Amino acid sequence: MAEEKDNKLSSYLERLKQQAATQQHYGGDITPEEAKMDMRDCPACGAGRAFEKGLTSCAYCGFVFMDIKLTDGVNIKKENNS
């Protein structure tokens, strides 16, 4: 009787642990990613993005990268508007 109960408890625990370890989590697994560097060239004229002319439009052909007004955020500031 006591043995049966112990078995039940340990099989419950084993099952719970197994389920916790193997079940899929909402949003999926988080795959660790390395830091990386990238760049968005101007899709209109192919030029790189120049700092002096701001982030919102292309310094060379005027293509609008982002049709918004940047405010003072964390690293991006008002001055970064084109």
Do residues 48 and 38 make contact, with C-beta atoms less than 8 angstroms apart?
no
| Binding characters for other proteins, 17-56, by CB under 8 A (x = yes) | x-xxx-xxxxx-xxxxxxxxxxxx-------xxxxx--x-
Report how far residue 68's alpha carbon sits from residue 81's, in angstroms, rounded to the nearest whole number. Answer: 9
Q: Which uninterrupted H or E stretch holds 16?
A: helix 2-22
- Residues of span 53-82 touching other proteins by CB under 8 A: 55, 65-71, 73-76, 80
Residue 8 DSSP one-character state: H
Binding site for other proteins (CB under 8 A): 5, 8-13, 15-17, 19-21, 23-27, 29-40, 48-52, 55, 65-71, 73-76, 80
